Amino acid sequence: MDSNHLARDLDALAARYRPIVGFKVRRALGGANPDWEDVTNEVLAQVIAKLRAGEFRGESSIGTFIYTITCRRIVDYIRDKTKVLRHAPEPAPLPDPAERAERKDRLARLTEALARLKPKYRDVLHLYYVRDLSREETARALGLTVAQVSERANYGCKILRRILGPSFFSISGRPGRLNNGMGKAGPR
């Protein structure tokens, strides 16, 4: 394989895994942490460097290989950050006006979609996801079994997703609370 071909393959791999690495990093660092993009880039740079160095020998899947690198980098980041935070916590950036408008529009769409949902699904979504009750507590509050809570939560989300349409889940590149930096693409 010539070097141009290899570079193209590695770029394609990085593009393919950027969303999933970004998801994992954001989840570990917290949604409001602005460093998630830098950490994601560092992970992908490490992946490419290790692939170039022949460190991936196919003993595991490429996904597991990248996952391992991601976890290690997150641990390093948290360790380093903890040292810094002992002295001066960094303030989170303020959301910009366009982001606020986008967020408002999305919440309006969500309100409308929820209004179209049957009460039996709305009640479960409200208690389980918004009030953050456990499945058992939700089941007791609504007179359901735990299995019914799981089914209704799952099915309620699927109906919501259908009502909201794909545009609700394809977001521009701006980081923000409703934007987890993940486009629709994932590992293929």
Partner 1 sequence: MKSCPFATSIDPYLQNELSGKEAERFEAHTFDCPSCYREMSERHLLLEALREGGSALFSRPVRTAPAWIRAAAAAALVLLVAAGIALLSPRPHRPSEFAFTGDETVRGAALEIVGPAGPVGAAPERLEWHPLARAAEYEVTLSEAGKTIWTVSTAATEAGLPADVRTKLRPGVDYVWRVRAFAALGSFIAVSDPAAFRIAR
**CB of 55 or CB of 84, closer to partner 1:** 55
Query: In Å, how far are 5, 16, 166, 170 from 11, measured between CA atoms?
Result: 10, 9, 26, 22
Q: How far apart are CB 23 and partner 1 at their closest, in Å?
A: 6
Q: How far apart are CB 132 and partner 1 at their closest, in Å?
A: 6
Binding mask 76-95 for partner 1 (x = CB under 8 A): --------------------
Cα–Cα nearest to 82, from 157, 137, 38, 29 = 29
Q: How far apart are CB 4 and partner 1 at their closest, in Å?
A: 27
Would you count residue 46 as binding partner 1 (CB under 8 A)? no
**CB of 6 or CB of 185, closer to partner 1:** 185
State the number of CA atoms in the 13 A half-sphere of 79 facing the CB.
6
Would you count residue 66 as binding partner 1 (CB under 8 A)? yes
Q: How far apart are CB 61 and partner 1 at their closest, in Å?
A: 5
Segment 109 to 168, residues that bind partner 1, using CB under 8 A: 110-111, 114-115, 119, 122-123, 125-135, 137, 140-144, 150, 153-154, 157, 160-161, 164, 168
Would you count residue 72 as binding partner 1 (CB under 8 A)? no
Residues 37, 18: contact at Cβ < 8 Å? no
Counting residues that bind partner 1 (by CB under 8 A) gives 57
Which token pair is 98?
């366009």
Instruction: Using CB under 8 A, list all residues that contact partner 1.
Output: 17, 19-20, 23-24, 31, 61-64, 66-67, 103, 106-107, 110-111, 114-115, 119, 122-123, 125-135, 137, 140-144, 150, 153-154, 157, 160-161, 164, 168-169, 171, 177-178, 180, 182, 184, 186-188
